[in-house]
Amino acid sequence: MRYQSTRGGAANLSFTEAVMTGLAPDGGLLVPADIPDVSAKLDAWSSLHYCGVANAVMSLFIDDIAPDALTDLIARSYASFDHPEVTPVFTSGELHVLELFHGPTLAFKDVALQFLGNTFDYLLKAQGAHLNILGATSGDTGSAAIAGVRGRDNVDIFVMFPDGRTSPLQERQMTTVPDANVHALAIEGSFDDCQSILKAIFRELDFKAEYSLGAVNSVNWARVLAQVVYYFVGYFRVGHDGPIDVCVPTGNFGNIFAAYVARRMGLPLRRLVLATNANDILARFFRSGRYSRGDVHLSLSPSMDIQVSSNFERYLFYNLGCDPGKVRSVMETFEATGDAQLNFNTRVYDEAFAAGTADDAATLGAIGRTWAEHQYLLDPHTAVGVAVAEDYRAQAGDNVPMLCVATAHPAKFPDCIADVLPGVPATHPTLQALESMPTRKTVLPADVDAVKSVIRDARR
């Protein structure tokens, strides 16, 4: 399998080159040259354990890591999860929830970042090289990335997060890690500021090369690939013979883009129901064809408080006929003006997608209802998805099963849970252990040079 940039400036890269490159030199994202059709293999895969499905899916996109080595990487990546099924499905009546929070930091990002961390370690040891990872997080990516590479001699990781705009527990998960190779950078701004700094630094090719920069954000294809796997697993665990719908709460579009890839591979996903909070740039696009940036609104689901979705460009590449020129034109217009119109006079941009929004009141309502009806506790991000899924099913009026994606353990958001369910504890031993640990972070202005200076000073 070879990889190319969505903007046409890089092509014919191997999987290893794509992983180590992260963001393409032309500012685009790397995508596989082909997406294989596996519809004829689904029956054979349906009885496999999680690692078996992961091996079957990933090996189609990875041909430059020996099969035995890939099997070992996958096994080590998911040995740290606290459930034997890795990503189990909770079912109660018509409620199906794909639990992605059984990894070391209790968030869906662990599924991809445990694999990416082990892959980086394997490749760097083989090359005798050192990597400086630069990431930006709106909440869970940072702690999951840190957990994937902490303590490794051949990696330093620099994670930018918006100071004061992640949950207190999310910040503690990043700032209580004592390993010398971990650098938590609190940026005085929004997540979009963090993401803009990241992209600006990666576009400085001389600096990127001199300091061996790599990416763990979902701009890295390996993260998307690892996420594709759990949609296959979720479909098999629902146990339905025909198509199902999936509802994905998303801000950065990576999680639902992985579902889109699985659908293109032949997995019977009828609708990809995209759920956003008040930061609804993606929902507005799929309703109108207009991609238009607005102000960031703070919400009870902070990891989704995003206006610029970094993985959206990958979707555009496939939607625009794999034409890099069209993608480049759209993205340059959006980057210059904050607005791009792709389709006029339409109510639905892409029939594969449905889209909805849930504000804070709807989020709290979904948490309360789901507990009352199913004795199942949702975190606020998952609750956004469940609220949108309920609305969609009411409008669809059919019996197609809906699989809702649970992106974080509810214990990561105890204040939100307490607001609607004051008598219900939302705790987890992993998080309780953080309360007495010292923290460390570096507060920086939202400035490219300030972040570059920290990377220079940490060189070892």
CA terminus-to-terminus distance, the chain: 35
Structure tokens at 388: 């949108």
Angle between helices 221-238 and 254-264 (to 10 degrees): 60
Burial 434-451 (b: 16+ CB within 10 A, else e): beeeeeebbebebebebb
Find out whether 269 and 244 touch, Cβ atoms under 8 Å.
yes
Structure tokens at 197: 């700094």
Active-site residue flag, 109: yes
Residues 6+ apart with CB under 8 A from 117: 77, 145, 147, 148, 149, 152
Q: What's the angle, vertex CA 457, arms to CA 456 and CA 460, rounded to 5?
A: 90
Residues 6+ apart with CB under 8 A from 183: 156, 157, 158, 159, 442, 454, 458
Residues 6+ apart with CB under 8 A from 310: 29, 195, 217, 218, 219, 252, 253, 254
**Of residues 41, 109, 125, 452, which has the active-site annotation?**
109
Which stretch of DSSP H or E encloses residue 193? helix 191-203
CA distance 143 to 170: 7
Q: Edge-to-edge, what's the strand order for the sheet holding 131-136? A: 213-215, 131-136, 155-162, 182-188, 442-445
Question: Annotated active-site positions, please?
Answer: 109
